[in-house]
Structure 1
Amino acid sequence: MGLVQKLTKPFIDTFVFVWDFNLFLLNVLLPAHKPGHVVPAGAPGHGGTWPVYIAPKDGDSRSACPMLNALANHGILPHDGKNITFKELNTSVRQTFNFAPSFCFFVPKFSADFLDRSYWNDKFDLADLSKHNAIEHDASLTRHDAALVPDQGKPDLQLVDELLKEATGKTSEGGALLTKKDLSLALSKRRYAARKTNEAYTESKFHNMFGSANSSTMLTIFGGRVDDLRPMLTDERFAPNWEPRILSRFGLTMAAFNGTVLPVERGIDVKKIEQQEKARQQPQSETVT
């Protein structure tokens, strides 16, 4: 990060958090969007009509984030995933997923900073966002660790299937629903497995919180609905007629998002998974003896 970025970062961060909290308050006071009208008129996906899905081709750039890859697969971002401006990312994510403007500025600005680029003037490829231990992190729910699988642009279908099988909730229509407890359990299992299989595994409070935040979009933006999550996590595409489950007038703020992220992170118990694994292995050891 350049000197100017370092000097201005505290002031920008403070401004964004104040901005975000004001949007949080306005969401409480103002009426929400009506279902079917979350994506703004004129934007791709308005009324549930998404641009045609085209799977990535050889040479296309993709990230460790299914949602960003879906934007490219549907042509909302450049299909090759290259030469994207950070401001373009801001607008596309805002309109498509109904994140708050503060959220949509903060994350691309954070990305520009860790890539040592200018948010205002520079461009990036989606694969650039997979820089290890920036936004991409070990123990992802949809990717094996970068030390084991360097190409983070493709989901691991077995991991995705294991995640979605954790869903214990039900929608009003009877469909499978991923809950906060389900997500905490899935993250507990992944962190345990990643520690065992990846000798280069790294973990910190920051990365754990980022992991829980990334995963919690499944509960907020997608409402935990497995029928919507499966195409997003496997093919990285939008389900037909999909729209964000967040109806708030100014979108999902960071302040509101913490109401999901913090309980998910607090519910993670890797030691419990370790004890359960030892208990399963104990009878086998006794039989061998």
Structure 2
Amino acid sequence: MSLYQKLTKPFIDIFVLTWDFNLFLLNLVLPAHEPTDVIPAGAPGHAGHWPQYVAPKDSDSRSACPMLNALANHGVLPHDGKNITFRDLNTVVRQSFNFAPSFCFFVPKFAADFLGRSYWTDRFDLADLSKHNAIEHDASLTRHDAALVPDQGRPDLQLVDELLSGATGKMQDGSPQLTKKDLSLALAKRRSAARSTNKSYTESFFHNGFGSANSSTMLTIFGGRVKDLEPMLTEERFVDGWQPRILSKFGLTMAAFNGTVVPVEIGVKRAKVE
């Protein structure tokens, strides 16, 4: 991070948090989107109509994030996953997943900072976002640790199966649904397993918070629905008709998201791992 970035970061953070909280308050009083009309007209995925899925080639760049990889696999981001601007990432994520504008500025800006690049003018490849212990972290629910599997661009299907098979909730149609308790237990098991198998394992309050936050998108944006999560986590693909489960007018704010992340992380501490 440059000296300029270090000097301006506190002011930008204060601005973003204030902006985010105001959006949180507006979401409480403004009418929500209709469930089938969350993604704006003209944007890929509107009304659940996604561009064709094309599996990645070995030469394509992919990250440790299934959601970003899915955007590339459907051509919403460049299919090769390369030469993407941070500002374009902001726009695409906001439209595709209904994260709040404040959220969609904060995370790409954070990524630009940890990569030592300018949010405003620089570009990145998806694989760049897998820089260890930045956004990517040990004890992921869909990837083995980077020290064991350096290529973080592909999911580990066994880990995904263990996660989804642990769903104890039920949707109205009887299909399985992940709950906060399920996610806490899965994270607790992964952290315990990672400590025992990875000699380079690292864990901190920051890493754990990111781990719970990354995982909690499965409960917020995807509503915990296993039938939607399975293709997302195994093939990194949207199911036909899928739209975000967050209906708020200004999307998922960081303030609202913490209402899921904090209980999940507290649950990790309380979970009993056999």
Cα separation, 1, equivalents of 2:171 and 2:254 = 25
Correspondence 1:88-237 to 2 at 5 A? 88-237=88-237
1:79 and 2:71 matched: no
Q: Percent identity, aligned pairs only?
A: 79
Letter in 1 for 2:265: E
Shift in Å, 1:225: 0.2
Tell me, yes or no, if the aligned pair for 1:191 and 1:270 is still in contact at 8 Å: no
Q: Using structure 1 for the length normalisation, give the TM-score.
A: 0.94
Backbone CA RMSD of aligned residues: 0.8
Tell me, yes or no, if the aligned pair for 2:31 and 2:249 is still in contact at 8 Å: yes
Counterpart position of 1:46: 46
Count of aligned pairs: 274
Q: Summarize deviations over 1:180-206 as a string: whole Å, max 9, x none.
A: 000000000000000000000000000
Greater C-alpha radius of gyration: 1
Letter in 2 for 1:153: G
Tell me, yes or no, if the aligned pair for 1:189 and 1:270 is still in contact at 8 Å: no
Letter in 2 for 1:235: E
Q: Summarize deviations over 1:63-84 as a string: whole Å, max 9, x none.
A: 0000000000000000000000
Q: Using structure 2 for the length normalisation, give the TM-score.
A: 0.99
Note the residue ranges of structure 1 that are not aligned, 5 or more in a row. Answer: 277-289
Cα separation, 2, equivalents of 1:7 and 1:73 = 37
Counterpart position of 2:268: 268
Shift in Å, 1:38: 0.1
Shift in Å, 1:271: 7.6
Counterpart position of 1:62: 62
Letter in 1 for 2:210: F
Shift in Å, 1:58: 1.8
Letter in 2 for 1:50: W
Tell me, yes or no, if the aligned pair for 1:177 and 1:224 is still in contact at 8 Å: yes
Q: Summarize deviations over 1:134-178 as a string: whole Å, max 9, x none.
A: 000000000000000000000000000000011000001111000
Cα separation, 2, equivalents of 1:176 and 1:16 = 36
Counterpart position of 2:17: 17
Counterpart position of 1:283: none
Relative distance call for 1:103 and 1:271 in structure 2 (3 A) is closer
Cα separation, 1, equivalents of 2:260 and 2:210 = 13
Note the residue ranges of structure 2 that are not aligned, 5 or more in a row. Answer: none
Letter in 2 for 1:162: E
Shift in Å, 1:90: 0.2
